[in-house]
Chains A and B, each alone.
Chain A
Amino acid sequence: MKRRRFFKAMAAAPLAPSLVAQQTAAPSNAPAPTSPAPPPIDATQPPAPLNRAPSAMTAPVRIETAVADEVANMAPRYFTPAQFSALRKLSETIMPPMNGAPGALEAGAPEFLDFLISESPPDRQQLYKVGLDQLNTQAKKRFSKMFADLDSTQTATLLVPLREAWAFDPPTDPLARFLREAKKDVRTATINSREYASAASSGGRRGAGGIGLYWYRLD
């Protein structure tokens, strides 16, 4: 509950203007306010008495809710178990916990990327699947282990393509191209997570979990 209350505070403080706006005029894609289902009509019975004072009936109803990520874990289902274990290892290598901030694993970055890639165009899906398979293939070939089981020195030898200077055109080698994309994606998925934002806030740091002006659907 302590964690949940903290997230609520996080969400409430920067969001005050938009919440006010939603009260006056709900955006079209906002969920409709919940209201009690009407009782079945039975003409033989007199109307049931109101169980609330009339004045309370006219006040806007606001039910306290939680977000899904507070009550449940993401359930990845796109990558194979071998691919997903490689993605977890790669994620924690690129973005380990640092300076009190959660790393990629604590931020659920691999699980989020499993979802994101499952929704992505085929070429991006292929880039990830081939890249993760290659990490496992090379780990087995060079160290006789799965990528997830390598130590940090062994892992670093397979990430050598990331030592190349960044260029506008992506590398032609599929693994190098995948690692470049994964470095960006893992960092973004971590820094933009709820977990990272809450840690940054409680640590008095700024710059994570950016607040932005969101455009609702126009009509």
Chain B
Amino acid sequence: MASKEYDVLIIGSGASGGMAAYTLAKKGVKCLLLDAGPQVDFQRNRGTKPVYELPYRGFGKPGRLPHVFQANEFNANQWVDESQVPYTHDPKQPYNWVRVRMIGGKSNFWARMSFRLSDYEFKAKDHDGFGENWPISHADLSPFYDRVEPIFRVSGRKEGLAQLPDGIFVEDKSPDSQASKRIAEAGKPYGMTVTKIRRALGDGSLASSFNLLLPDAVASGNVTVVPNAVVREISVDNKTGLVNGAHFVDRQSGRELHAKARSVVLGASCLESTRILLNSKMANSSGVLGHYLHDQFYMSNSVVALIPEAQNGKSSRGLVGGAGYIPRFRNIKTKEKNFIRGYAFDFSTGGTPDARYFPSWGEELQKDLDNARGAGFGATLMGEVLPRFENHVRIDKNVVDTWGIPVLNFQCKYTDNEFNMAKDAVETLGEICRAAKFEVLHRTDRMFPPGYSIHELGTCRMGDNPRTSVLNKWNQSHDIKNLYVVDGSSFVTGGSQNPTMTILALSMRASEHLAEQLKQREI
């Protein structure tokens, strides 16, 4: 039996856990990394297929993944099977918990949108009085964003916007299409700006912990990765009150094991890290563990329009094409009447709107689609969700997963701030489209259930006050100094920006702090 004690046990190998391994390995810290899923072989586990070869012609097996709206028949096997790892919620208050368990985690599949948070988020309370400020500012995190962005090769264009800080970019020099310029011009009276999207290029095909972080970590000789290790709970030394390892189950055999370490870093994703802590009954003297669950509400195709000049086969590069991003512009220089914070859009031009947007069928519908080919405009709305104590997860003692581990129960719903924000967003973008002489086909302010954006945040939030937060400003537990949580659960507010770059920067910063603490024998 090889019962070795590691300096650090890292739980989870996605963006946050992978960055912890990468950072600690460079500091010479000996780490054991456990992930609940297998290592995938992208050559062996995937293959191209025509849709007609699939048993359900692309519809997918009915009822298989009811909460994963992103699932289709091609990718159904990449998501966590809800029958193996269930969760519970009030049927009237659904939550879409979308999960991946494999080495690299969700970073194998993310949309790669790479934005920084600004002090409109870090110091949000200073702007509108709601909630709490983060214990750090953009200036504290900026040096880490500066180092993360080149690893992931983030493309972008420097825009000089306070609400969307510039980063270290692979410069995007592509010209804006005329359609994009028209939207920008029509949006000026609203204080709106159109930017290039900011996207992690990675190595081209993949921008994941799996290919950008873990190979270096393992090559250092300082990190041992164990797949298929489902953590049941973190263990504690009763004499010191410090954590000393974790109990885990071998996913395939069901064998119970225990790994020893001088410290533990949780990076299992916001809600899995929270679940492990709740099941371990630790790090919750504040009583806020599991609370303040928030994300961004996403509404794909919130506004769909046609660009008249591009219809009837006249679509051309330069006129349409490419994607753009509209960063938050509400409650920056103005103060809105019925909501605080703000929203962003990403949009694309040059596609063809779906057939559902045309009130026709048969040959008439085909003619409509032919006329619209390449002339479409579609925008996804991404709105900030306020972190509220009432929105929370807790352990459901009556339900366990395949390995006998109690599951999460969700109590989460959106409220008027989100609904009012969504209404304003689609009305405003609809007006802007019309001002740009686009033909608006459809707009909706109805949103999918919470969780749909796969940006769950906030359930182990950081703060200076141990009575109102789980972690300190170094992502370190207030209660247990050798326990760190480095994923999105540490967020205080989420803004409307995609969170991955911030998660990576926080994990790098926290891991360097931990390495220093280990070096100084503070842990």
Segment of A44-52, A115-123, A139-147 in the binding face: A115-123
In the complex, what distance in Å separates the CA atom of A116 from the CA atom of B62?
Answer: 8
Q: Which residue of B lies closest to A94 (CB)?
A: B361
B49 touches A96 (CB 8 A): no
Q: How far is the CB of B317 from chain A (nearest CB, A)?
A: 18
In the complex, what distance in Å separates the CA atom of A192 from the CA atom of B49?
Answer: 12
Segment of B69-77, B156-164, B290-298 in the binding face: B69-77
In the complex, what distance in Å separates the CA atom of A120 from the CA atom of B44?
Answer: 31
Q: Chain A contacts of B62 at CB under 8 A?
A: 116, 119-121, 124
A21 touches B52 (CB 8 A): no
Q: Chain A contacts of B78 at CB under 8 A?
A: 215
Q: How far is the CB of B158 from chain A (nearest CB, A)?
A: 34
Contact of B50 among A96, A180, A184, A197 (CB under 8 A): A197
Q: Chain B contacts of A98 at CB under 8 A?
A: 363, 366
Q: How far is the CB of B338 from chain A (nearest CB, A)?
A: 21
A167 touches B444 (CB 8 A): yes
B359 touches A165 (CB 8 A): yes
Q: How large is the interface on B (under 10, 10 to 19, 20 to 34, 35 or more residues)?
A: 35 or more
Mask: chain B, 38-66; 1 = CB below 8 Å from A; 0 = not: 10110111111111111011110111000
Q: Chain A contacts of B76 at CB under 8 A?
A: 215
Task: Give the interface SS of chain B, mostly helix, strand, loop or mixed.
Answer: loop
Contact of A212 among B38, B61, B74 (CB under 8 A): B74
B49 touches A211 (CB 8 A): yes
A21 touches B359 (CB 8 A): no
Q: Is A17 an interface residue (CB 8 A)?
A: yes
Mask: chain A, 92-129; 1 = CB below 8 Å from B; 0 = not: 01111011000000000000100010011100100000
Q: Which residue of A lies closest to B448 (CB)?
A: A168
Q: Chain A contacts of B363 at CB under 8 A?
A: 96, 98
Q: Is B255 an interface residue (CB 8 A)?
A: no
Q: Is B262 an interface residue (CB 8 A)?
A: no
Q: How far is the CB of A184 from chain B (nearest CB, A)?
A: 6
Q: Is A88 an interface residue (CB 8 A)?
A: no
B61 touches A192 (CB 8 A): no
A162 touches B359 (CB 8 A): yes
Q: Is A43 an interface residue (CB 8 A)?
A: no
Known: A166-B356, A184-B356. A214 touches B47 (CB 8 A): yes
In the complex, what distance in Å separates the CA atom of A196 from the CA atom of B363?
Answer: 16
Q: Chain A contacts of B102 at CB under 8 A?
A: 218
Segment of A8-16, A55-63, A78-86 in the binding face: A8-16
Q: Chain B contacts of A167 at CB under 8 A?
A: 444
Contact of B51 among A183, A192, A218 (CB under 8 A): A192
Looking at A22, A124, A215, which has the most chain B CB atoms within 10 Å of its CB? Answer: A215
Q: Is B428 an interface residue (CB 8 A)?
A: no
Mask: chain B, 443-474; 1 = CB below 8 Å from A; 0 = not: 01010000000000000000000000000000
Q: Is B394 an interface residue (CB 8 A)?
A: no
B45 touches A27 (CB 8 A): yes
Q: Is B360 an interface residue (CB 8 A)?
A: yes
Q: Chain A contacts of B252 at CB under 8 A?
A: 219
Per the 8 Å Cβ criterion, residues 317-360 of B in contact with A are: 355-357, 359-360
Q: Which residue of A lies closest to B47 (CB)?
A: A18
User: How many residues of chain A have a CB within 8 Å of chain B?
Assistant: 57
A163 touches B359 (CB 8 A): yes
Q: Chain A contacts of B360 at CB under 8 A?
A: 162-163
B48 touches A15 (CB 8 A): yes
Q: How far is the CB of B374 from chain A (nearest CB, A)?
A: 12
Q: Is B362 an interface residue (CB 8 A)?
A: yes
Q: Is B442 an interface residue (CB 8 A)?
A: yes
Q: Which residue of B lies closest to A125 (CB)?
A: B62
In the complex, what distance in Å separates the CA atom of A183 from the CA atom of B356?
Answer: 8
Q: Chain B contacts of A163 at CB under 8 A?
A: 359-360
Q: Is B37 an interface residue (CB 8 A)?
A: yes
Looking at A11, A119, A192, which has the most chain B CB atoms within 10 Å of its CB? Answer: A192
Q: How far is the CB of B38 from chain A (nearest CB, A)?
A: 5
B40 touches A164 (CB 8 A): no
B75 touches A215 (CB 8 A): yes
Per the 8 Å Cβ criterion, residues 154-180 of B in contact with A are: none
A218 touches B38 (CB 8 A): yes
Q: How far is the CB of B201 from chain A (nearest CB, A)?
A: 19
In the complex, what distance in Å separates the CA atom of A68 from the CA atom of B85?
Answer: 35
In the complex, what distance in Å separates the CA atom of A71 from the CA atom of B57?
Answer: 18
In the complex, what distance in Å separates the CA atom of A197 from the CA atom of B54?
Answer: 13
- 28 A-B Cβ contacts within 8 A? A14-B48, A15-B47, A17-B47, A18-B46, A18-B47, A19-B47, A27-B45, A96-B363, A116-B56, A168-B446, A192-B57, A197-B51, A197-B52, A209-B50, A211-B49, A212-B72, A213-B47, A213-B48, A213-B74, A214-B49, A214-B74, A215-B77, A216-B45, A216-B77, A217-B77, A218-B37, A218-B45, A219-B252
> What 5 pairs between A and B have smallest CB-CB spacing?
A18-B47, A168-B444, A212-B74, A168-B446, A194-B52
Which A residues lie at the B interface, using CB under 8 A?
A: 10-11, 14-15, 17-19, 21-22, 24-25, 27, 67, 93-96, 98-99, 112, 116, 119-121, 124, 159, 162-169, 180, 183-185, 187-189, 192-194, 196-197, 209-219
Known pairs A212-B48, A213-B74, A214-B49. 15 more at Cβ < 8 A? A11-B50, A21-B44, A67-B53, A116-B56, A119-B62, A124-B62, A168-B444, A168-B446, A183-B355, A192-B52, A193-B57, A197-B50, A211-B51, A216-B45, A219-B252
